[in-house]
A and B are shown apart, each in its own frame.
Chain A
Amino acid sequence: MDYVFQFGTVWQDWPLLLHGLWATIRLSALAMVLGLAIGVAGAWGDTEGPPALQWPIRAYVELIRNTPFLVQLLVIYLGLPEIGVRFDPDAAALVALTVNLGAYAIEIVRAGIEAVPEGQTEAGLALGLHPFQVFCLIVIRPALRAVYPALASQFILLMLGTSIVSVIGAEELTAAANSIQARTFRAFEIYFTVLALYLALSLAFRVAFAAAGRLILARAP
């Protein structure tokens, strides 16, 4: 092998990489918050909501979970403008990630709700609380606590999935790598470096989620 590795050219562009890294963190965090909101609302509709709400939620969950994220992204970014809904790449990326995570979050949160003993709900109803109050005050916290590890790993999968939005040119770490690659032609060095950055980021997320879990979930109900 007579190839000479030149990681130096890659590191000359570190501000670009840092910028991309920050964009990835921001995009992931936003999608996590919005996706979890969809997850909780959808899980409520699926377990407690009226039947008219249940089947559209099931359809949404099954549709998203059984198609690739890349195709969902292309439908939202390229397809929706056909019916007049137009997003710039960054917005399309956020919408696609949120819609995608939402479906997985519904399934996870629903499992948590079903794990809360029936007696808890009955106790709440016996105290004269409205079913919605029972959900908000009694059911949702232990439900989220029970599925916190599953949610955390789904969040990390989402963070890794953000690399796919580089395909439509949304701003994040992989897109930064692509632009450096196009200029320097040091494809292997740049992608290898970025691979390492993602690895570090997913380890950092895992540590952060574990710490946050101890901090938030350790406190009494």
Chain B
Amino acid sequence: MIRGFSPGDVWLLILAARWTVLLSAVAFLGGGVVGLVVAVLRTAPVRPLRWAMSGYVQLFQGTPLLLQLFVVFFGANLLGFTVDPWSAAALGLTLYTSAFLGETWRGSIEAVPVTQWEAGRSLALSYGQQLRLIILPQACRIALPPTTGFLVQVVKSTSLTSVIGFVELTRTGQLVNNATYRPLLVFGVVGGIYFVLCWPLSLTSQFLERRLDLRRPRRRRRGHR
């Protein structure tokens, strides 16, 4: 039976956004931990480790997230784990996020001048100490704007987990649409909620980028202004 679209449906969608936020947080935290390992191994002075991590990043950056979710979902079932959509979504997004954050953070580590490593070594610090005390604090500063920007990507990516049956914002939108059949309105509201989640993150990322990059000349605008 088709019913009308009511304010209650908007509330339902807002409640469903909690799952989008929760999944984003899990993927970001999990992906952050794994991503840090990837970034450190990717810059480690051991060649096989760098190669292995490079392959890991290539695999996740060179394939669609949707297919990664399918493979995790169906693959884990084959391995004998009974996987619900929530675990598959969390695992798939964590792996995906870790590859992208790993690559971003590798760039940040490499952006720290090599003389900083040498200075640490000349102070007789071990590799771990150089990394922890000298390199990572500086790399963090460089990594902050792109990491915030990637958070937008993570939030948007969670919408794909609706395809493997995880009931988050987009899936709830589809369910509400099936009941009300007002697709333009329903998906308009759904898009609006994503926008409210993502836009502040985008603005923060831009703000951090401008504040960090002092060498860049002022934003230039030509024309009728």
Contact = CB atoms under 8 A, between A and B. Distances in A.
A13 interface: no
B222 A48 contact: yes
B172 to A, nearest CB: 12
A70 B67 contact: no
Given A65-B202, A174-B66, A79 B188 contact: yes
A79 to B, nearest CB: 4
B63 A66 contact: no
A136 B66 CA distance: 39
A22 interface: no
B184 A198 contact: no
B165 interface: no
A160 B64 contact: yes
Contacts, number: 132
A80 B184 contact: yes
Interface residues of B, number: 49
A47 B224 CA distance: 9
B62 to A, nearest CB: 4
Contact of B64 (A71, A74, A118, A174): A174
Interface stretch (B45-53, B73-81, B109-117, B129-137): B73-81
A188 B75 contact: yes
Contacts of B194: 66-68, 71
A91 to B, nearest CB: 17
Interface stretch (B36-44, B118-126, B140-148, B155-163): B155-163
A167 B187 CA distance: 15
Given A71-B173, A82-B182, A203-B62, A49 B75 contact: no
Contact of A69 (B156, B158, B177, B223): B156
A75 B163 contact: no
B70 interface: yes
A50 B224 contact: yes
Contact of A68 (B157, B222, B223): B157
Interface of B: 58-59, 61-68, 70-71, 74-75, 77-80, 152, 156-160, 162-163, 170, 173-174, 177, 182-184, 187-188, 190-191, 194-195, 198-199, 202, 219-225
Interface of A: 1, 3, 47-51, 62-63, 65-72, 74-75, 78-83, 114, 118, 121, 131, 156, 160-164, 166-167, 174, 187-188, 191-192, 194-195, 198-199, 202-203
